[in-house]
Amino acid sequence: MPERNHPFLNRRAFLSHSATALSGMALTHLLARDRVLASGERLPIRPQIDPANPNALRAPHFKPRAKQVLMIFSAGGCSHLDTFDYKPELIKRHGQPMPGGDKLVTFQGAQGSLTQSPWTFRPRGKCGKMVSDLVPRLGDLADQMCFIHSLTGKTNTHGPGENFMNTGFTLDGFPSIGAWTTFALGSVNENLPAYVAIPDPRGVPQSAGNCWNPGFLPAAFQGTDFNAIKPLRNLARPANISAGKDRSTREFISRLNRHHLANYPGDTELAARISSYELAAHMQLSVPEVSDISTEPAHVLKMYGADSAGDKTQEIKAGYAKNCILARRLIEKGVRFVQLFNGAYQVGGEGTSNWDGHKVLKDQYTVHGEVLDQPTAALISDLNQRGLLKDTLVVWCTEFGRMPTFQAGASGRDHNPSGFTAWLAGAGVKAPFSYGATDEFGYKSVENIATVYDFHATILQILGLDHERLSFYHNGIERRLTDVHGEVIKDILSST
């Protein structure tokens, strides 16, 4: 019987099956493509995981459009109405009550009037996409972007919202999208973690480790979190131990382990333990190398804004820019899934450290736009000029959008999961392209309404994974990233 809760095949079984597994997989794929297996009851496709190297490269379910993912997450609920969703009617009816808005109770309560964005929207790129002055450099890349303007969420509070966008569930404790991806696909670079989460210089996002946790998937698929400032914990050899002594110690460990293993021929887990020390040694070389952005030339640092200095905002921007450079270097080295965070948990009051602009949106977003715009735009351009967008899907998203009204008695917008924007770029998607729309004020999605499940299903599809067949048995259910929902948004996929 194939194992459910012990996904690591016995290594013996793994090796003996790999020959037949390939042919088996080929036929399975053929059946899938012919939709023969697309009956009501679809078989999960279980990744065959080598316990000695759980993140070894694995084949997708079908031909992928992209091989790697860079997911940029703006924490706090970034307003679509002040960035990418242009609403002339909102400008026209600025100061008027929103029809039906007087009785509306959103997360913090009552609504004031419709309020236009403090930033002007202008046509950008050759395509003329309207993007606001808050993010002009990102706007300049509009020709490379595929916007989804009709996203809808399930919750209007941050923790569950961030969980939902990163794990597909509002509750804590479900595997993140990066964990699912590496569980399915492994990674081409065995010397680096397959999945890296890069927290904002100001701290972790509001759902903290939930955003990159493995949930009930094995720990091997957890996102490894470090950024340009905080190196990977316990990576470096302790300062008071010389390189020679360290090497001898490892050799001694290995000698004892192999001596002991002689009594347990064929034991998978013991062999895996020994391998993990070998992988660790590779990682000790590769991670510092990839994290060392001091080798980047000055013009690159400048392009990203990593040389920003002066006030607090510029310092944060420099920190985030360095993280962007780190993200590029990781993608360059073949890391399967890179999650880059823009914005941290709530500290110093609402909306100060993230996009949660309830009361003084203009002041706060001026800072957040400054931090996000140049470094992120530079990152995409840099990936592009290095040819990395050919295989990399870039995703920008947030937990929910914000209201077209200002809150009653305040100068900011409340949470709005009924309609918000995300964009994708790079491999796998049409660009320039805009999909779906919110209503005339930008309150609710009305055209081609998309759910977060659809969004996730589409990302997996681009990676060559069938979201309905990538599952893991937990607690009575074959759990999926997309629960029991999700339709691939075919309209936005590039032609293969």
Partner 1 sequence: MKRLASIPWLSARVAGRYWHSRNALCHWIVLGVLAFFSTVQSQGDLPAVANRPVDFKKDIEPIFSTHCVRCHGPDKQSSGLRLDDRESALKGGENYVPAIRPKNSSESPLIRLVAGLVPEMKMPQKGEALTLEQIGLLRAWIDQGAQWPEEAKVAKALHWSLNPVVRPEVPRVANSHRKEVQPIDAFILAQLQKKRLNLGTPASRGAFVRRIYLVMHGLPPTPEQVRLFVTDKSSDAVAKLVDRVLDSPRYGERWARHWLDVVRFAESNGFETNHERSNAYHYRDYVIQSLNEDKPYNKFVQEQIAGDYWGVDSGTGFLVAGAVDIVKSPDINLTLMQRQDELADIVNTTGTAFLGLTLGCARCHDHKFDPISQKDFFGIQAVFAGVNFSDRPLRRQLSVTEQEERTILGKTRDDQKASLAALKQQGLAAQLSSLSRKSFRPPVNAQSNEEVFSSIEAKAVRFTILATTGAEPCIDELEIYDSKGTNVALAKDGTTSSASGTLAGYAIHQLKHINDGLTGNSQSWISSTSGNGWVQLDFLTPRPIQKIVWSRDRSNQFKDRVATDYRITAQLTSGEWKEIVTSQDREPFGKEDPNGFLSHLPEQEAKLARELQSQLKKSEERFSELSKGTPAWLGSFSQPKPTHRLYRGDPMQEREVVAPDAVAVLGTLGLAVDEPEQQRRIKLAEWIVNPRHPLTARVMVNRIWHYIFGTGIVDTPSDFGANGGVPTNTALLDWLADEFVRSGWSIKHIQKLILSSETFGQSSSPRKEGLANDAEARLLWRFPPRRLEAEAIRDCILATSGALDFRMGGPGFSLQIKENDNVDRYFPKEHFTTNEFRRMIYLTRIRQQQDSVFGAFDCPSGNQVIPKRTRSNTPLQALNLLNSNFVLEQSAVLSARLLQTAGSQPKSQVSEAFKLVYGREPDGFESSNSIAMIRDHGLDAFCRALFNTSEFLFVF
Footprint of partner 1 on residues 238-257 (CB under 8 A)?
A: 238, 241, 245, 248-250, 252-253, 255-257
Least distance from partner 1 to the Cβ atom of residue 342, Å: 17
Q: Which is nearer to partner 1, 179 or 429 (CB)?
A: 179
Cβ distance to partner 1 smaller for residue 307 or 363: 363
Nearest distance from C-beta of residue 190 to partner 1, angstroms: 9
Contact (Cβ atoms closer than 8 angstroms) between residue 469 and residue 45: yes
CA pair distance 458, 110, nearest whole angstrom: 35
Collect all residues with Cβ–Cβ distance below 8 Å to 160 and sequence separation of at least 6: 154, 170, 171
- Computed from CA positions of residues 320, 326, 332, 338, in that sequence, does the dihedral angle turn out positive or negative? negative
Contact letters (x/-) for partner 1, 263-282, by CB under 8 A? xxxxxxxx-xxxxxx-xx-x
* The only residue of 63, 100, 126, 234 in contact with partner 1, by rule CB under 8 A: 234
CB of 373 to partner 1, least distance (A): 26
Q: Which is nearer to partner 1, 218 or 404 (CB)?
A: 218
Confirm or reject binding of residue 313 to partner 1 (CB under 8 A). no
Six-digit token pair at 430? 């049409």
Site string for partner 1, 199-228 (x = CB under 8 A): ----xx-xxxxx--x-xxxxxx-x-x----
Report how far residue 2's alpha carbon sits from residue 365's, in angstroms, rounded to the nearest whole number.
52
Cβ-contact 369, 103 below 8 angstroms: no
Residues between 343 and 372 with contacts to partner 1, criterion CB under 8 A = 345-350, 358
The distance between the two most distant Cα atoms of the chain, rounded to a whole number of Å, is 80
Number of residues that bind partner 1 (CB under 8 A): 131
Q: Does residue number 410 form part of the binding site for partner 1 (CB under 8 A)?
A: yes
Helix axis angle, 312-332 relative to 361-385, nearest 10°?
Answer: 30
Q: Which is nearer to partner 1, 310 or 348 (CB)?
A: 348
Residues 116-145 contacting partner 1, CB under 8 A:
none
Restricted to residues 22-51, the positions that interact with partner 1 (CB under 8 A) are 23-25, 27-28, 35-46, 48, 51
Site for partner 1, residues 149 to 178, rule: CB under 8 A: 155-160, 162-163, 170-174
> How near is the Cβ of 2 to partner 1 at its closest, in Å?
3
Spatial contact of 404 and 90, defined as CB atoms under 8 Å apart: yes
- Minimum CB–partner distance for residue 278 and partner 1 (Å): 8
- CA 464 and chain centroid, separation: 17
Give yes or no for residue 408 binding partner 1 (CB under 8 A).
yes
Q: Of 383 and 470, which CB lies nearer to partner 1 in the complex structure?
A: 470
100 sits near partner 1 (criterion: CB under 8 A): no
Among 100, 105, 298, 312, binds partner 1 (CB under 8 A): 105
- Identify residues 457-486 at the interface with partner 1 (CB under 8 A): 468-469, 471, 473-478, 484
Q: If we measure between CA atoms, which residue out of 457, 448, 458 comes closest to residue 493?
A: 458
- Of 281 and 446, nearer to partner 1 (C-beta) is 281
For residue 169, what is the DSSP state? -
Q: What are phi and psi of 338, to 5 degrees?
A: -115, 125
Q: Residue 137: which residues within 8 A CB-CB, separation 6 or more? A: 373, 374, 376, 377, 378
C-beta of 410 vs 449, nearer to partner 1: 410
Q: How far is the CB of 496 from partner 1 (least distance, A)?
A: 23
Q: Minimum CB separation from partner 1 for residue 247, in Å?
A: 10
Q: Which residues pair with 477 in a beta bridge?
A: 474
For 8, residues 6+ apart whose C-beta sits below 8 A from its C-beta are 49, 50, 51, 54, 218, 268, 272
- Map the footprint of partner 1 across residues 58-87, applying CB under 8 A: none
Is residue 315 part of the contact set for partner 1 (CB under 8 A)?
no
348, 352, 354, 358 alpha-carbon torsion, rounded to 10°: 110
Contact between 109 and partner 1 per CB under 8 A: yes
What's the CA gap between 292 and 329, in Å, rounded? Answer: 9
